Amino acid sequence: MAPSKAVTTTTIFLFIPNLIGYSRVILALASLAVMPIHPKTCTWLYAISCLLDAFDGAAARKYNQSTKFGAVLDMVTDRCTTACLICYLASTYPRWAVFYQLLISLDMASHYMHMVAMLSSGAGSHKKVGKDRGYLLNLYYTNSRVLFICCAANELFFVALYLYSVPLKTPPHLGYAYGVPLSYATIMAVVTFPIWLAKQIVNVIQMVNAAKLLAEFDVEERNQKISATTIETDETTKTK
């Protein structure tokens, strides 16, 4: 049997899941470029970019091409794409700007702290969350269907708010509900809101758990130093 070819950084960069990741970045950038002027095109580009998120993971498992670079690329793309859309919403709904800023901060802080905590624990992936980290967080990361539904609903809710803010060349509404114009964007926002809210709760839980885990590492490290110092002091005293 011929020996396997040595892997280089170029090889890693050209893995199929990472190529899918690059396409996601390109599609996201294209959607941002047309966001103020072509809402339908923007929505399709943004939606395809988000949907490809499910395919890069499947490709990584199928071709045995899971990498740390790919995992970070995937998370960074998710966070930056969502943050850019929320920034647009903040400019569109200035009265809610502070609220949107807090959402971005929660999303970024939660995922960053979680990834650092998991890497510090020696986990090969930020998605390998044990049951000791809580039922909801374990379910969120270990059940692919739950993860997909939560992430998809989260993005669709923000897309619905975006569509609600722009004039479309379609009938302005489908009717009225309690005096409020009932549009496709309104329906999408109402349907996805409960799951979007659950996603924000998971973000809070994730950040709290990550903070506790990091603090536990600090405690362990400091106690080891104290023990080492105590042993060294005792040995010095015995020598004297």
Tell me the longest C-alpha to C-alpha distance in the chain.
91
Of 184, 86, 87, 195, the residue nearest 140 (C-alpha) = 195
**Side chain identity at 82, as an amino acid letter?**
T
Active site residue 132: no
Catalytic residue (choose from 78, 132, 218, 234): 78
Active site residues: 78
